[in-house]
Structure 1
């Protein structure tokens, strides 16, 4: 039985609801997407392994391997999407819809489309001799927790030497991105009647100082760290949301501030978290409040691949673009930490990701397949180099 066409594959992937979310009412399993990919890969001659994510029921990674030998190329992507508002879409987000030279659907560019194009690239060369393996890696929950990539990082990994992460980059190679921390600081004072401040300890007053110190840290980071490769050349620290108190005539007994911090390559998330805690301790003592810290998710480290990397040079040659740096985070540092040269390179624009009426332009398909086919030829059809 012949395999579905590239557009038929993409249509089937889009039809599988694999939304991941920190809110249980929106969160879905990615098993349907994994099973589709596994079936197609087996039909193409891959050896397929499906790995449940411990502690995350209904979530799976998949590793499919074609060919044998040392090294090899990993084509990697995540199987989940962000939540959506179907009532705001022009067409059903779970039905692939073509109009005006674009393919619309939830996950078309971010990033189910990459899998369909990767399999098309393999079909064009699979009758040739593979000296190094090609691996298709599909992960879970990139959009909310990166639990799939984290689980992979605790294993031996796919074992490849080079990795392409097919996030939407408009087919421009990305070799650097910022890290991300999302944390909260909870301040606990003591509630009381607002007519007499001595009856309580106002947590919101202390959070005012917390915010001031985080703004001081933001200014110092911007002064001391800069990388001209990035459009936003300094680290950023955003005070995102604040919740506290329950009534105007009651002393605020508890207040929580959540923020994100995006560090440049060469900086450490752990060091930044430690610095924040160090700066908060005097504020807690001076205001006689308790202070607790929570990681809203474990974070992603900054990523940078050498501009002299063989993979980066080949990606630049094939695309005609010099590699760039971006402000968003991906699974790249997890694969790089497993010993692989890594690049982010995929069809579609990041501007369309997480948007109503997400789409991938049809004119991205053939160039992407050609690039991936050439990468397979370079890193799988030629003998491994020392």
Structure 2
């Protein structure tokens, strides 16, 4: 197959996709509308799965016959913020310098989405025996929040596919497992008073510090008891506090303090078991504070839960992806979480393989190497042939 026209189309798609600011806090509907219009122009119907307020949507579509044995290309449309990062070019303008293409989302993971869109016309006009399915999600970057509602519809509506390929950046090498991620929001409500009169109030910040120290001790314990035979780097479950907000002035006992933490666990490790002692501590602090000030207390809410992606070396997805990528290496795992675990949990044979390196993701001047984009093109061309 002559891939030159596919390469041209993929670059055009990538330029358009990068131009959409789909930072997770914002809507992704403009990008979804662009994909819908493109698919519709090739006679492909697509289906939105919107979030509760309608500001965001997943999108899925089938190109080819509605028969079993197809392949799902899955990717997320959202990107992380650029706030405070020192970019040397506009993050929402695709900029090529040398052998690199710069822009927010180039490797994580609009490069993969562009490649997936570029082969749609080939599949749509060809006589494929098995279908290509696209599954584009929202809010992956904030806990894989969007995909589950779409996956439920895929289970319900699609003839069973052979494989799901999640296009996270792996340098076009097959990745067979990832850690799970769960996150919790803790809100401490105190009682304001002058900071010299601590007996008249409760500082939410001081209580939060005590709770965060307990989390730090849990994190240290996970590291001490690491399984050094684990294939992950680091080998143990990791716990970090990513966001802390609290207080209004240095001389006021803080009325409220909020912090958010995440826990990343290898397959076979139960996050709830790890967090259970901390939840008991939160309950004890809540009871003690409410005894003095009924309007105060501690609330802990689980905000996300993404399952780990377990190694299944003999799966159909693994065999297919290795053939398409020309990858005969040993099984690989990654410490980040993705939607692969959610697809696997729903019963889909799943693998991760996409262009770019996770080391460039989330960075200022995020980039995708042209060589990686070309490897992705070859992968897609082989996929098109495999569907025939």
TM-score for the superposition, normalised by structure 2: 0.83
1: CA distance between counterparts of 2:59 and 2:255? 47
Within 5 A, what are the aligned runs for 1:1-386? 5-21=9-25, 27=26, 29-45=27-43, 47-68=44-65, 69-85=67-83, 88-121=86-119, 129-144=127-142, 146-157=144-155, 158=158, 159-224=160-225, 226=227, 228-252=230-254, 254-285=256-287, 290-295=297-302, 297-317=303-323, 318-378=326-386, 380-381=387-388
> What is the Cα deviation at residue 82 of structure 1?
2.4
List, as ranges, runs of 4+ consecutive aligned residues in structure 1 with deviation greater than 6 Å. none
Measure the CA separation in 2 of the matches of 1:277 and 1:264: 21
Structure 2, unaligned stretches of length 5 or more? none
Please say if residues 142 and 148 of structure 1, whose CA atoms lie closer than 8 Å, have aligned partners that are also in contact: yes
State the 1:189 CA deviation: 4.2
RMSD: 3.0
Corresponding residue SS for 2:146? helix
Give the deviation of 1:122 after TM superposition: 5.2
SS at match of 2:176: strand
Q: Scaled by the length of structure 1, what TM-score is found?
A: 0.83
The Cα of 1:125 is off from its aligned counterpart by 6.1
Contact kept? 2:187, 2:259, Cα under 8 Å? yes
Contact preservation (8 Å) 1:182, 1:261: yes
Residue 77 of structure 1 and its aligned partner are, at CA, apart by 1.0
8 Å Cα contact 1:186/1:255 also seen in 2: yes
Hey, what's the Cα distance between the residues in 2 that align with 1:87 and 1:197?
A: 39
Measured after TM superposition, the shift of residue 340 of structure 1 is 0.9
CA displacement 1:122-166 (0-9 Å, x = unmatched): 555666543321111122232235443132134344442311111
Q: CA 1:83–1:245 in 2, change beyond 3 Å: closer, same or farther?
A: closer
Paired with 1:300 and 1:60, the residues of 2 have a C-alpha distance of 19
Q: Post-superposition shift, 1:176?
A: 1.5
Rounded Cα–Cα distance in structure 1 between residues aligned with 2:77 and 2:197 = 56
After superposition, give the CA deviation of every residue in 1:159-197 in whole Å (9 maximum; x if it has no partner).
423111111111122222122233232334444445454
1:305/1:341 contact within 8 Å kept: no
